[in-house]
């Protein structure tokens, strides 16, 4: 993936987070470098900082979306910007996800993996659609021809084109599976009926025996070694089987091992099944040509059977559902226009076998349905897969009844192919969305208009302490908030057009703990009808704890800086006051000794000496200040508390000695 950030520290942090999650990335420090990288490399994902020197993140994002395949590249934007309009601008420019700095590595990795899974699912669906289109086109091409040579050439050409292999050959085998014929190859239109002794190709015999594809990519394998002159690195053998009988194989050769992946094998296997039906159809047509007289006899017999049910025709002709009438042997006696349109006119011709219309693994189900009808039961409607040469496979919903008078069975058919495909697609989409929701790092909760919880993902379980089983259908969303908060959030939603983003709130965990969260919520609508609400909760406990620790650290730093400044100031003041104070004390003591006992001057000298001594004690305290401590002074004013701020003992426990000698 490509990481674009002009801040070296951010690139370092991102690199550490990606490496810890075993994710590879290329790192660039400017928008220009990113555009140069994208000119020759298509990354699987882009982590993009928005705020950079020109070209900034928005320019890079627009450039990505203008690339030929740029719409397929997931882009997760990173920024320290906190404004809602910046978020909206980023998504409008084409961002797939948004993450604020500073981010949690676990959340970053979860967002990346979610986007990669989404991209993989989209690519898988696109590949499946391409494969289905290939099979459909091949089926239509094969249905338009019953000539065996045309069918064989079309198959190898389509397989080589769809899978990207270097060579595709088609080998047909006899009933004994001892000898084979290479009947077509995409790179040699002149190749016809090249004999193969299958005893020399045990891999082909193994694929025919098991009915499963065989992939060979070992350098030491004999088949690979035998083809070294053609520079083939890997081979695959896909059997062509119809109703358990091997008809031949598709032999694929590629110069790169990566070409013959699971998707290629699966597609080739589907084409092999289609080929088997086409081969059988071609052989049937050839057999019909050879047995025209038998066909005529069969036609006349079918007409006689049809006469037995002609009295039903007027009733069934106008029916919207397809209707088939079959005799006790399973042969079709009558098909109304709707049945011929659903299944095909040729497939529902008089005298055709009912079971021949169905996919092999559905025939047992059809037999049980027929048995139940003959017993006079009314079994439930069943889905049957109809596969008929020349038509795309369909799914029909079938039910039946016993016509006792004629001992025949009546079946009603309804084409439900589109409905079942939609059901399957909806189920896959539902499973995919559930996987995305469950893997989200944020808690996701949805409720109906009554407040009943309908969705409670894994992150919500971790945040609240309730399990999904305890919450879904059993709890009201108001129970997850402090009193009145749910009502307030609903009012905010209605006032803000049905959406709120990054709203700070508190939720209540199972143990009563209030958990701070960032909430983004929306009202869910079905057309103009309100059907429920959904909320995405980001647990802020870790973030707030980090912010609290950061604030405490800043306060400690401020106190230390204040104490350091105070100590420096106190030391300087004590140093400057000490010398003149010493002189005052010396001269006052000298005057006390020189003046006569009882004279006023001597009393004054004593007062000066005592006050100077008290001043010396104060200066000493100033010189030993280590912290900033205050005490009330006048009104609300405060002054420095020297006794508490000094690390020395209180002045009552020490005295400053006067100098013994005269100055």
Taking only the tens place, the pLDDT of each residue in 27-40 is 988 888 988 888 88
Rounded distance, CA 545 to CA 104, Å? 13
The pLDDT value recorded for residue 198 is 82
Average pLDDT over residues 125-142: 64
Average pLDDT over residues 289-307: 55
Q: Are 187 and 230 in contact (CB under 8 A)?
A: no
Cα-only R_g, the chain: 44
DSSP H stretches of helix in 227-379: 262-290, 292-308, 310-317, 337-343, 363-374
Range from 35-49, 408-422, 539-553, 616-630 carrying the lowest mean pLDDT:
616-630
Is 70 exceeded by the pLDDT of residue 570? yes
Average pLDDT over residues 515-543: 89
The pLDDT value recorded for residue 302 is 53
- Confidence at 472, pLDDT banded by 50, 70, 90: very high
Q: Which residue has the tokens 């987070």?
A: 17
- Confidence at 174, pLDDT banded by 50, 70, 90: confident
Average pLDDT over residues 601-606: 82
Q: Are 233 and 255 in contact (CB under 8 A)?
A: yes
The pLDDT value recorded for residue 437 is 85
Out of 287-296, 368-377, 544-553, the most confident range is 544-553
Range from 52-56, 151-155, 468-472, 640-644 carrying the lowest mean pLDDT:
640-644
Q: Are 538 and 100 in contact (CB under 8 A)?
A: no
Distances (CA, A) of 275 to 160, 192, 283, 393: 14, 18, 12, 14
The pLDDT value recorded for residue 657 is 45
Residue 178 Cα to chain centre, angstroms: 50
The pLDDT value recorded for residue 391 is 73
Instruction: State which H helix or E strand residue 326 sits in.
Output: strand 322-326
Q: Are 628 and 559 in contact (CB under 8 A)?
A: yes
Q: In what order do the strands lie in the sheet with 167-173?
A: 194-197, 179-185, 167-173, 245-254, 234-242, 214-216
Rounded distance, CA 425 to CA 128, Å? 12
Contacts from 152-158 at CB under 8 Å and sequence distance 24+?
152/183, 152/184, 153/184, 153/189, 155/184, 155/250, 155/271, 155/275, 155/278, 156/184, 156/185, 156/186, 156/250, 157/186, 158/134, 158/271
More confident residue, 493 or 228: 493
Could you write out the DSSP letters of every residue in 90-131? HHHTT-SEEEESS--HHHHHHHHHHHHHHHHHHHHHHHHHHH
Average pLDDT over residues 493-506: 89
Residue ranges of domains in the chain, CATH in brackets = 2-123 (3.40.50.2300), 145-289 (3.30.450.40), 307-419 (3.30.450.20), 440-539 (3.30.450.20), 549-653 (1.10.287)
- CA nearest to 326, candidates 288, 356, 285: 356
Looking at every residue in the chain, the average pLDDT score rounds to 79
The pLDDT value recorded for residue 72 is 81
Rounded distance, CA 566 to CA 560, Å? 10
Instruction: State which H helix or E strand residue 447 sits in.
Output: strand 443-448
Is 50 exceeded by the pLDDT of residue 663? no
- Confidence at 616, pLDDT banded by 50, 70, 90: confident
Q: Which residues in 337-371 are b (16+ Cβ under 10 Å) and which e?
A: ebbbebbbeebbebbbebeebbeeebbebbeebbe
- Confidence at 126, pLDDT banded by 50, 70, 90: low
Q: Which residue has the tokens 């006050």?
A: 611
Is 50 exceeded by the pLDDT of residue 210? yes
Is 90 exceeded by the pLDDT of residue 350? no
Average pLDDT over residues 402-408: 67
The pLDDT value recorded for residue 220 is 47
Start-to-end Cα distance in the chain: 84
Length of the chain: 663
Rounded distance, CA 475 to CA 507, Å? 14
- Confidence at 522, pLDDT banded by 50, 70, 90: very high
pLDDT tens for each residue of 212-248: 888 876 444 454 444 444 566 778 888 888 877 888 8
- Confidence at 8, pLDDT banded by 50, 70, 90: confident
Full-model pTM? 0.35
Is 70 exceeded by the pLDDT of residue 301? no
- Confidence at 326, pLDDT banded by 50, 70, 90: confident
Rounded distance, CA 36 to CA 173, Å? 55
- CA nearest to 324, candidates 347, 297, 299: 347
Rounded distance, CA 469 to CA 203, Å? 52
Q: In what order do the strands lie in the sheet with 499-508?
A: 453-456, 443-448, 529-539, 514-526, 499-508
The pLDDT value recorded for residue 446 is 92
> Looking only at Cα atoms, what is the longest distance across the chain?
165
- CA nearest to 38, candidates 90, 1, 85: 1
Is 50 exceeded by the pLDDT of residue 660? no
Average pLDDT over residues 411-415: 85
Average pLDDT over residues 254-281: 74
Q: What angle do CA 26, 29, 33 make, to 5 degrees?
A: 75
The pLDDT value recorded for residue 651 is 47
- CA nearest to 341, candidates 445, 418, 415: 415
- Confidence at 144, pLDDT banded by 50, 70, 90: low
């Amino acid at each position: 993936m490509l990481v674009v950030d002009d801040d070296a520290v951010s690139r370092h942090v991102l690199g550490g987070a990606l490496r810890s999650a075993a994710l590879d990335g290329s790192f660039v420090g400017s928008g220009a470098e990113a555009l140069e990288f994208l000119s020759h490399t298509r990354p699987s994902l882009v982590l993009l900082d928005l705020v950079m020197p020109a070209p900034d993140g928005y320019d890079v994002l627009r450039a990505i979306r203008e690339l030929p395949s740029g719409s397929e590249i997931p882009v997760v934007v990173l920024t320290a910007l906190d404004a809602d309009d910046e978020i909206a601008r980023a998504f409008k420019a084409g961002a797939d996800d948004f993450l604020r700095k500073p981010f949690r590595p676990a959340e970053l990795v979860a967002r990346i993996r979610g986007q990669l899974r989404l991209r993989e699912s989209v690519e898988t669906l696109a590949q499946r659609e391409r494969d289905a289109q290939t099979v459909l086109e091949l089926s239509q091409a094969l249905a338009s021809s019953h000539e065996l040579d045309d069918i064989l050439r079309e198959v190898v050409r389509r397989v080589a084109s769809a899978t990207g292999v270097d060579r595709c050959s088609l080998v047909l085998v006899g009933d004994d599976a001892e000898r084979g014929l290479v009947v077509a190859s995409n790179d040699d239109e002149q190749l016809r009926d090249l004999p193969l002794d299958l005893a020399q190709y045990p891999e082909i015999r193994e694929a025919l025996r098991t009915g499963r594809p065989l992939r060979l990519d070992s350098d030491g394998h004999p088949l690979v070694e035998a083809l070294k002159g053609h520079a083939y690195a890997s081979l695959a053998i896909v059997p062509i089987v119809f109703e358990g009988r091997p008809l031949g194989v598709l032999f694929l050769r590629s110069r790169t091992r990566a070409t013959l992946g699971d998707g290629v094998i699966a597609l080739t296997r589907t084409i092999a099944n289609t080929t088997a039906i086409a081969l059988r159809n071609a052989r049937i047509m050839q057999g019909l040509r050879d047995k025209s007289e038998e066909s005529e006899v069969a036609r006349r017999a079918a007409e006689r059977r049809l006469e037995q049910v002609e009295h039903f025709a007027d009733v069934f002709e106008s029916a919207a559902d397809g209707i088939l009438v079959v005799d006790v042997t399973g042969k079709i006696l009558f098909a109304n226009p709707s049945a011929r349109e659903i299944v095909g006119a040729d497939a529902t011709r008089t005298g055709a076998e009912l079971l021949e219309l169905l996919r092999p693994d559905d025939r047992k189900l059809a037999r049980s349905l027929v048995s139940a009808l003959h017993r006079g039961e009314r079994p439930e409607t069943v889905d049957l897969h109809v596969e008929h040469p020349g038509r795309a496979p369909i799914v029909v919903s079938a039910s039946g009844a016993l016509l006792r008078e004629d001992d025949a069975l009546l079946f009603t058919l309804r084409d439900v192919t589109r409905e079942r495909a939609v059901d399957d697609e909806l189920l896959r989409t539902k499973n995919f969305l559930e996987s995305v929701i469950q893997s989200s790092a944020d808690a996701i909760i949805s409720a109906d208009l009554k407040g009943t919880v309908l969705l409670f993902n894994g992150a919500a379980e971790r945040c609240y302490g309730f399990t999904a089983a305890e919450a879904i259908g059993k709890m009201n969303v108001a129970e997850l908030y402090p009193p009145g908060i749910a009502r307030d959030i609903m009012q905010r939603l209605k006032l803000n057009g049905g959406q709120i983003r990054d709203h700070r709130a508190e939720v209540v965990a199972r143990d009563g703990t209030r958990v701070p969260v960032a909430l983004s919520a929306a009202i869910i609508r079905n057309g103009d009808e309100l059907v429920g609400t959904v909320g995405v909760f980001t647990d802020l406990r870790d973030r707030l704890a980090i912010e609290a620790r950061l604030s405490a650290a800043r306060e400690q730093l401020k106190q230390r800086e204040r104490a350091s400044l105070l100590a420096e100031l106190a030391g300087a003041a004590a140093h400057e006051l000490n010398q003149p104070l010493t002189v005052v004390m010396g001269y006052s003591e000298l005057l006390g000794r020189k003046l006569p006992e009882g004279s006023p001057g001597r009393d004054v000298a004593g007062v000066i000496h005592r006050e100077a001594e008290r001043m010396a004690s104060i200066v000493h305290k100033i010189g030993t200040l280590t912290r900033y401590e205050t005490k009330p002074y006048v009104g609300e004013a405060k002054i420095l508390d020297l006794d508490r701020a000094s690390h020395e003992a209180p002045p009552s426990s020490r005295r400053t000695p006067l100098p013994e000698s005269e100055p």
